Amino acid sequence: MTYETILTEVHGEGERGRVGLITLNRPKALNAINRQLTEEVLAAAQAFDADPSIGAIVITGSEKAFAAGADIKEMQPQGYIDMYLADWFGAWERLPAVRKPVIAAVAGFALGGGCELAMMADFIIAADTAKFGQPEIKLGVIPGMGGSQRLTRLIGRAKAMELVLTGRFIDAQEAERAGLVARVVPAAELLDDALKTAKTIAFHSLPVTLIAKEAVNRASETTLEEGLRFERRVFHSLFALEDQKEGMTAFIEKRAPAFKDR
Ligand code: CO8
Q: What is the 3-class SS of 94-105, one letter each residue?
A: HCCCCCCCEEEE
Spatial distance between the Cα atoms of 191 and 137, rounded to a whole number of angstroms: 31
Calculate ∠ Cα 158-162-164, nearest 5°. Answer: 115
Going from the Cα of 186 to the center of ligand 1, the distance in angstroms, rounded, reads 25
Spatial distance between the Cα atoms of 180 and 185, rounded to a whole number of angstroms: 14
**How sure is the predictor about 259, in pLDDT bands with cuts at 50, 70 and 90?**
very high
State yes or no: pLDDT of 217 exceeds 90: yes
Return the bridge partners of 122, or none: none
pLDDT (tens digit per residue) in 146-200: 999 999 999 999 999 999 999 999 999 999 999 999 999 999 999 999 999 999 9
> CB neighbours (10 Å) of residue 137?
14
State yes or no: pLDDT of 15 exceeds 90: no
State yes or no: pLDDT of 13 exceeds 90: no
Which residue has better confidence, 191 or 220? 191
Give the closest residue (by CA) to ligand 1 atom 8.
68
N-to-C CA span, the chain = 30
**How sure is the predictor about 72, in pLDDT bands with cuts at 50, 70 and 90?**
very high
135 lines ligand 1 (CB under 6 A): yes
Task: State the average pLDDT for the chain.
Answer: 97
Beta-strand runs (E) in the chain: 6-11, 19-24, 56-60, 65-67, 102-106, 109-111, 123-127, 131-133, 170-171, 183-185
Spatial distance between the Cα atoms of 259 and 16, rounded to a whole number of angstroms: 9
Q: What pLDDT does 1 receive? A: 79
DSSP, collapsed to helix, strand or coil, labels residue 219 as coil
Spatial distance between the Cα atoms of 67 and 31, rounded to a whole number of angstroms: 5
In this prediction, residues 17-40 reach a mean pLDDT of: 97
Give the closest residue (by CA) to ligand 1 atom 39.
68
pLDDT (tens digit per residue) in 91-146: 999 999 999 999 999 999 999 999 999 999 999 999 999 999 999 999 999 999 99
Tell me if the pTM is above 0.90: yes
In this prediction, residues 15-25 reach a mean pLDDT of: 95
Give the closest residue (by CA) to ligand 1 atom 54.
144
Catalytic residue among 136, 146, 147, 176: 136
